[in-house]
Amino acid sequence: MDKKIINSISGRLSLRAPQRESLDALARAIEATGDRLLDPTHDIPAMLDAIKAEFSNLQDFEREFPSLCFALATGVGKTRLMGAFITYLYLAHGIKNFFVLAPNLTIYEKLIADFSPGTPKYVFKGISEFAIEAPVVITGDNYEQRGAQLSRDLLGDQQIVTVNIFNISKINSEVRGGKAPRIKRLSEYLGDSYFNYLASLPDLVLLMDESHRYRASAGVKALNEIKPIMGLELTATPFVETSRGTVPFQNVVVDYPLARAMDDGFVKEPAVVTQRNFDASQYSKEELETIKLMDGIRLHEATKVELITYAHESDVRVVKPFMLVIARDTTHATALKDKLETIFDGKYLGKVIQVDSSSKEEETVAALLNVESSDEPTEIVIHVNMLKEGWDVTNLYTIVPLRAANARTLIEQSIGRGLRLPYGKRTGVEPVDRLSIVAHDKFQEIVDEANNPDNPLRLKQLILDRPEDAIKTESVQVSSNINALVSGDETTGSAGTHYTPTLPAQPLFISEPEKKAAKAALAIIKEYQTKPQQAPTSKSLQSETLQQAMILAVKEHLTQGQQSLLEDEQQVDIADVVAKTTALVVNNTIDIPRIIVTPKGTVTSGYRTFTLDLTGIKGLKPQERALVSQSLQTNHQTEIGEGDSGNYEPIKENYILKKLFDYDDIPYDEHADLLYDLARQAVECLSTVNDEKDVINILQNQSDAIARLIHAQMDKHFYEEATEYEVEVRSGFTTLKDCSYTTAEDQDLKSYRDTVSDVSKIKQMLFGGFSKCLYPIQKFDSDTERRFSTILERDAIKWFKPAKGQFKMYYKRGTEHPEYVPDFVAETNDYVLMIETKSAQHRNQDQSWNEEVTEKMKAGVKWCLNASDYLKANGGKEWKYLLIPHDEVKEANTLSSFIAKFECQDQQP
């Protein structure tokens, strides 16, 4: 298995862990057959036996050719994985011909776009081998002309990769019509059928998107005659429904179910919603339908507010959510559209679209894809059937099913349509990360089904089957080399695992009295780090004055009036111990000053007057009952809305002001006029679209959400102005903090030079064998970091990975200021380096770094400038900040070349 190629593809395409796992599985399957899997004359039963030995779950290919299924949950990225498969098979094995099957027109058109260069989601972006000669895309619409042209150009000596994309539903309809599919008919352009041309290729690989749609397909049976050397199937539902029940696939080699995707944060968290203490039997069918629609809209409007607030707080684009209503039939859908456009005083007039069999599929696809645009007015989509696969939008947040369906169907089909995350990852804000299914009448049934261990969707309960759950973990506390060289103690994990790393030298002290004196000396040295006037740097500890002072302090510490310790002191040369301990600290320390920057002189701050963005407030509606949302992943319940509080305010603005008073960062006395003005704007907005009673209801129940939105917008109008700033140095150097790691239990230390075969597990590993690291053991977050440590071991004088709290440095992220912990600190002959290595996934399309990386870089550069000013004035070294792309981390590169190429100055990467 060519790990270099796999690592390269994984890095250049920024594959997620399940995508990388799938690529590894394909390589393992080929390797298990001695590459005979790629031979068109292979013995299929022999191939099955060989691959079954590698994958215990595999039972049968279930095709007339070897076919492997990769079951990945919706939202993980199956199209990008297809691009990775094609790239790997071409680069590692020279395969040049691929046949991609789409189950419907939606996915067919999406695949054509994603395989076409220059499109936003181009699957080969970053693959240099395809930059000059991109794979040729041949489709079910142009294959006669394009395929004929290509066959003439190649003249039997193909050097170009071809990707044929066909819509299986078109082929199926032709077969059902009693005719041979057009692909099998004679073409005047080709002089033969395109089918026969493909069948003559010795290296054709078939890729099936949403392969559960092809199990009983007449079209696929016809395509068996192409005799591909191998099939690669991708699906989120690796089973088919028959009259005998659910039949799971027998050819699954990678199983990444929805439960793992939810745990890993790749998709929204689905939740079923009902009203508190709701009894569906008390309502007629029509009344129940109205209640579900009204509650769905209430939830939709509340979600809209939360999304706007989050966008303001985090300074990201605003996501426009929409609600999906699933109707019984076309007549029902039409009635629902009329109903939804007239209730709420026509608020949704022109904002509801009906998508069903009365529309052409091309028009349906266009309408659905447009809903994601923030400029498009649609907020409610009515659909008769559950939406098909391939509708790749991220802003579906509320689903109201109004057609008869069992709980499993609701879960399977509803969840699959709304799982994608608008920001590409979980935000930690529940309403932003939640997909809500309004199902008052099916609430308990859905909860029970989601908790059913036999549910083929493999929700939370089946997560126990994944390999990671069998790995026990422990907490490991790692002290710096200084402590290890003084005491000689081993590192022991919480589960009792002993780690014996290689230290750069033997422990300095043998006898217990010497160790006791050295520990006392370390304690005294630690006190000096907060006395920069006496010890501006660690090297100043070796001055004669401070050495004598420390000797006296150690003696006093050891005796403390106790005769036994005084006798120990007589057996120990205190001056020698202090000198050795001080030298140990100096040699194993990189001076990190503690720097505080504070405004000096006249400082003014506050909030400038502004006009509220009222978009999120206009749509708020009165709440009659509290809604209950229950997570299908964790079973956690959230009550949405507070009901009637019974508290009335004579001045409406006070409902909002009381909530704003809870924010500690707003001095009320100084900003009373502004706060009242903002609350007034919100109340006036509500009053223009609601009567008096409803305004009171909204303010009673939803003033907290209004206050959060106001607070988020206030942050954008905050100012602080100072005439100058003062840099105060609290410490000239700081001792290294202990590192805390969670790692796999009972494992051996790995050498930092060892290549990690499964990089997805690198965070479970501990590494040692260093000679220049200031800690005996380190843990890496990526294989890039491990490889960079090899460069530091070669080119640096000393280095380490900082623990949280080592710098107490912060950066701006929305309204928050999280701590920034850089990846590495290293010292060279001339400089001290603060180093950050970053994956290409953090780059924008124009190759600039994204906002979070940029803000971290700004904080790091500013810190380095202040540290340099102080240390150079006290005989120390200049600090530099490096921001290095992960694909530049190669052992052939030198640390000096990184400094020259990636030093950041003046807050620019």
Q: How confident is the model at residue 258 (pLDDT cuts 50, 70, 90)?
A: confident
Indicate if the pLDDT at residue 563 is higher than 70: no
366 Cβ contact partners less than 8 Å away, ≥ 6 residues apart: none
CA 891 to each of CA 155, 350, 749, 788: distance values in angstroms, whole numbers, following the listed order: 43, 60, 22, 8
For 720, left (φ over 0), alpha (ψ -120 to 50), or beta? beta
DSSP 686: H
pLDDT digits (tens, 9 = 90+) for 102-152: 887 778 888 898 999 888 889 998 888 888 888 999 988 777 666 555 555
Q: How confident is the model at residue 364 (pLDDT cuts 50, 70, 90)?
A: low
Q: Higher-confidence residue: 569 or 294?
A: 294
Q: d(Cα 334, Cα 356) in Å, to the nearest integer?
A: 10
What pLDDT score does 846 carry?
A: 83
Q: Higher-confidence residue: 818 or 220?
A: 818
Chain centroid to CA 258: 15
Q: Higher-confidence residue: 569 or 827?
A: 827
- List the helix and strand counts (H, then E) for the chain: 30, 30
What pLDDT score does 82 carry?
A: 95
Pairing of strands 434-438, 269-275: parallel
The angle subtended at Cα 611 by Cα 352 and Cα 705, nearest 5°, is: 60
Please state, for a pLDDT cut of 70, what percent of the chain lies above it.
81
pLDDT digits (tens, 9 = 90+) for 843-899: 887 888 988 899 899 889 999 999 999 999 999 999 999 999 998 998 889 999 999
Indicate if the pLDDT at residue 467 is higher than 50: no
CA 822 to each of CA 76, 93, 507, 812: distance values in angstroms, whole numbers, following the listed order: 29, 40, 30, 15
Name which of 542, 590, 879, 593 is nearest 731 in CA terms: 593
Q: d(Cα 786, Cα 791) in Å, to the nearest integer?
A: 9
pLDDT digits (tens, 9 = 90+) for 185-194: 555 444 457 7
Q: d(Cα 835, Cα 889) in Å, to the nearest integer?
A: 12
- What the block records as the tokens of 803 is 């623990």
What pLDDT score does 28 carry?
A: 93
What pLDDT score does 156 carry?
A: 47
Question: Which segment of 153-162, 182-191, 323-332, 739-748 scores lowest on mean pLDDT?
Answer: 182-191
- What the block records as the tokens of 788 is 């960079």
- What the block records as the tokens of 344 is 């709420």
Indicate if the pLDDT at residue 521 is higher than 60: yes
pLDDT digits (tens, 9 = 90+) for 691-707: 888 888 888 888 888 99
The overall average pLDDT reported for the chain is: 81
Average pLDDT over residues 350-354: 89
What pLDDT score does 677 carry?
A: 92
Are 705 and 306 contacting, i.e. CB atoms less than 8 angstroms apart? yes
Q: How confident is the model at residue 362 (pLDDT cuts 50, 70, 90)?
A: low
pLDDT digits (tens, 9 = 90+) for 194-205: 778 888 888 999
Question: Which segment of 156-160, 299-303, 418-422, 764-768 scores lowest on mean pLDDT?
Answer: 156-160
Indicate if the pLDDT at residue 548 is higher than 90: yes
Sheet (strand 627-631) strand order: 352-355, 380-383, 322-326, 396-401, 434-438, 269-275, 627-631, 637-640
Q: Higher-confidence residue: 784 or 563?
A: 784
Q: d(Cα 250, Cα 239) in Å, to the nearest integer?
A: 9
pLDDT digits (tens, 9 = 90+) for 19-77: 999 999 999 999 999 989 999 888 999 999 999 999 988 999 988 899 999 999 877 88
Average pLDDT over residues 306-329: 83
Q: d(Cα 124, Cα 131) in Å, to the nearest integer?
A: 8
What pLDDT score does 583 carry?
A: 92
Average pLDDT over residues 5-17: 87
What pLDDT score does 668 carry?
A: 75
What pLDDT score does 682 carry?
A: 93
Burial of 69 per CB tally in 10 Å (0-12, 13-18, 19+):
buried
Average pLDDT over residues 285-290: 86
Taking the domains of the chain in order of start, what are their residue ranges?
3-137+161-184+202-256, 261-466, 601-621+640-724, 741-904
Average pLDDT over residues 530-535: 89
Indicate if the pLDDT at residue 909 is higher than 50: no
pLDDT digits (tens, 9 = 90+) for 401-445: 887 665 555 555 556 667 888 888 888 888 888 888 888 776 566
Q: Is 261-466 assigned to CATH 3.40.50.300?
A: yes
Average pLDDT over residues 78-92: 93
Q: Is the dihedral of CA 693, 697, 699, 705 positive or negative?
A: negative
What pLDDT score does 770 carry?
A: 93
Average pLDDT over residues 727-752: 82
Indicate if the pLDDT at residue 831 is higher than 80: yes
Sheet (strand 204-209) strand order: 136-139, 162-167, 97-102, 204-209, 230-235, 67-72, 252-256
Indicate if the pLDDT at residue 177 is higher than 70: no
- CA torsion 243-246-249-255 (nearest 10°) is 160
Residues 888-909 as b or e (16 or more Cβ within 10 Å = b): ebeeeeebeebbeebbbeeeeb
- What the block records as the tokens of 350 is 């022109």
Tell me the backbone φ, ψ of residue 800, rounded to 5 degrees: -165, 165
Q: Report DSSP letters for 169-236, one per residue.
A: HHHHHHHHTTS--GGGS--TTTSS-HHHHHHT-TTEEEEEETGGGGTT-HHHHHHGGG--SEEEEEES
Indicate if the pLDDT at residue 488 is higher than 80: no
User: Count of residues for the chain?
Assistant: 909
Q: How confident is the model at residue 579 (pLDDT cuts 50, 70, 90)?
A: very high
Q: Is 3-137+161-184+202-256 assigned to CATH 3.30.450?
A: no
**CA-derived radius of gyration, the chain:** 33
What pLDDT score does 791 carry?
A: 95
Q: Higher-confidence residue: 101 or 645?
A: 101
The angle subtended at Cα 171 by Cα 168 and Cα 176, nearest 5°, is: 120
**pTM for this predicted structure:** 0.53
Average pLDDT over residues 472-476: 67
Query: 3-state secondary structure string, 608-653?
Result: CCCCCCCHHHHCCCCCCCCEEEEECCCCCEEEECCCCCCCCCCCCH
Q: How confident is the model at residue 456 (pLDDT cuts 50, 70, 90)?
A: very low
Q: How confident is the model at residue 743 (pLDDT cuts 50, 70, 90)?
A: confident
Element (H, E) at 751: strand 750-751
Same CATH fold, 261-466 and 3-137+161-184+202-256? yes
Tell me the backbone φ, ψ of residue 442, rounded to 5 degrees: -120, 10
221 Cβ contact partners less than 8 Å away, ≥ 6 residues apart: none
What pLDDT score does 190 carry?
A: 45
> Tokens 């409610």 belong to which residue?
380
Q: Higher-confidence residue: 223 or 711?
A: 711
Q: How confident is the model at residue 391 (pLDDT cuts 50, 70, 90)?
A: low
